[in-house]
Amino acid sequence: MTEDASRVAAKRINDHVEVIHVDNPDTVLEVPRRDWERFTAAVKSGAFDLETLNREAAENVA
């Protein structure tokens, strides 16, 4: 996990959790609540990196 990954906020919304990066609040990752435990385990293990999402988002906009 990168240092930036610790700078997120998570909000529970009915059937999903919104993960919002502090430096980029316009980008919201929606994780279904049923997948939340698997998602957090993947982030903690390093298998899922929030910086990867930032790069992919930038590539899709360009």
Give me the pLDDT at residue 6, please. 59
Within 10 angstroms of residue 19's Cβ, the number of other Cβ atoms is 21
What's the token pair of residue 3?
Answer: 């240092």
For the stretch 8-24, pLDDT in tens is: 888 999 999 998 888 88
For the stretch 2-61, pLDDT in tens is: 455 557 888 999 999 998 888 888 888 899 999 889 888 888 888 777 677 667 667 766
